[in-house]
């Protein structure tokens, strides 16, 4: 190989490796950065689509298994084109989740739109956006239940009679094993089928209960 060619390839490799590393670094360092699949998207699919008997690995209704990244992007999602993506279309039309289940919020629909538009990438080990000092019910606890739990725990289809879409239900859940289910210590691990919540999020729930579980 000619020396000039070698230098060119070497320089190119250095720049390429540096580029990849700086991207990863950005994702880890900036908790308010771009959408991260594991942190922002997967919990929505897990709670609102992959309920048992729906689009979980066991049942895969209509051939859609929406329980993990590989399966989610394998069907009904056209990377970069949300409006050509069947999965996005049925969500935005409110066709899915079906009647009786909690629909996606406007924010969740937008997240899925933006994630697909950005190439439906697989982001893992994302920095969690969480302030362990805050544990207000309205500002922290209910939004957390909405994100991770209500797809399976809202009437009329509340799994195990645990209703997490409002204050009374969440307060009652304290006596239905709420803390044990989040801690993953042998009790039913929740969110079912999903990853354990971050230590910071679990600490927020614990703190709210220690403060007397107020409706604040």
Instruction: Name the residues that contact ligand HEC, by CB under 6 A.
Output: 46-47, 50-52, 148-149, 151-153, 159-160, 162, 173, 176-178, 181-182, 188, 190-194
Q: Which is nearer to ligand HEC, 136 or 177 (CB)?
A: 177
Q: Which is nearer to ligand HEC, 78 or 160 (CB)?
A: 160
Residue number with CB closer to ligand HEC (79 or 129): 129
Cα separation of the two ends of the chain = 70
Write down the least CB distance from residue 170 to ligand HEC, Å: 8
For the CB of residue 63, give the shortest distance to ligand HEC in the complex, in Å.
19
Q: Which residue number, 79 or 171, has a Cβ lying nearer to ligand HEC? A: 171
Tell me the closest approach of the beta carbon of residue 208 to ligand HEC, in angstroms.
12
Q: Which is nearer to ligand HEC, 85 or 181 (CB)?
A: 181
Burial 20-58 (b: 16+ CB within 10 A, else e): eeeeeeebeeeeeeebbbebbbbbbbbbbbbbeebbbee
* Cα distance between residue 87 and residue 186, in whole Å: 35
- Minimum distance from CB of 103 to ligand HEC (Å)? 15
Q: The dihedral of CA 52, 56, 57, 59: what is its sign? A: positive
Q: What are the CA-CA distances from residue 149 to residues 75, 110, 170 (Å)?
A: 24, 19, 11
b/e 147-185 (16+ beta carbons within 10 angstroms → b)? bbbbbbbbeeeebeebbbbeeebbbebeeeebeebbbee
Q: How far is the CB of 172 from ligand HEC (least distance, A)?
A: 10
Separation CA 146–CA 121 (nearest Å):
24
């Amino acid at each position: 190989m000619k020396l000039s060619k070698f230098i060119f390839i070497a320089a190119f490799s250095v720049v390429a490796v540096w580029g990849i590393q700086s991207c990863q670094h950005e994702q880890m360092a900036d908790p308010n950065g771009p959408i991260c699949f594991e942190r922002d998207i997967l919990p929505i699919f897990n709670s609102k689509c992959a309920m048992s008997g729906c689009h979980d690995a066991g049942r895969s209704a209509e051939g859609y298994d929406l329980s993990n990244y590989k399966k989610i992007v394998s069907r009904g999602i056209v990377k970069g084109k949300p409006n050509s993506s069947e999965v996005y279309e049925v969500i935005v039309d409110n066709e899915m989740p079906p009647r009786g289940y909690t629909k996606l919020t406007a924010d969740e629909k937008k997240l899925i739109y933006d994630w697909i538009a950005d190439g439906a990438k697989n982001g893992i080990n994302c920095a969690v956006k969480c302030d362990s000092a805050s544990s207000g019910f309205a500002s922290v606890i209910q939004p957390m239940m909405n994100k991770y739990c209500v797809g399976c725990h809202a009437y009329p289809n509340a799994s195990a009679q645990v209703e997490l879409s409002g204050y009374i239900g969440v307060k009652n859940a304290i006596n239905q094993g709420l803390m044990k289910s989040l801690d993953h210590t042998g009790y039913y691990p929740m969110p079912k089928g999903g990853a354990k919540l971050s230590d910071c999020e679990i600490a927020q729930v614990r703190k709210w209960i220690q403060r007397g579980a107020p409706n604040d």
